[in-house]
Copies of this chain bind each other. A is one copy, B any other.
Amino acid sequence: MITDLEKIKKYLQAVKIKPTYLRIRLLKYLLEKKNHPTGKMIYQALKKELPTISLTSIYNNLELFAKKGLVKILLLDPKEIRFDGEKGHHHFFCEKCQKIIDLPIDCNLIKKKKIFGHLIKDWDGYFFGICKDCQRDG
């Protein structure tokens, strides 16, 4: 996992994003936490250490990151967008505890370049139901 500030800086430069301190900290947060945060969650968390940040900057840079393919936009919840610092896996949403669980599924479909002739650039796989823990707990 990439969490060292210098490494993150290079990670940003590799995709032609100017590595400002805010961007480095934002990406660091996304790579370290696995909590699929909303923009507001990130804002509130980073605000503790960077008191002057604005929600607008968080949103702007998340959009930039997503456009450059650094992070994934999750549309699990119609009410708010969530972000994921890691790509390449499916997601499970528990309707009981509301937890979002990463699923390391080996899916053949997503390995293909095309599907029914349509060029695949990205994909999302969501499952909804009751997670293992909630089933056990009743």
Contact = CB atoms under 8 A, between A and B. Distances in A.
A106 to B, nearest CB: 10
A128 interface: yes
A73 B109 CA distance: 22
Contact of A116 (B77, B103, B116): B103
A122 interface: yes
A116 B101 CA distance: 10
A81 B130 CA distance: 23
B126 A130 contact: no
Contact of A121 (B101, B115, B129): B129
Interface of A: 73, 75-78, 81, 92, 94-95, 101, 103, 105, 107, 109, 115-132, 135
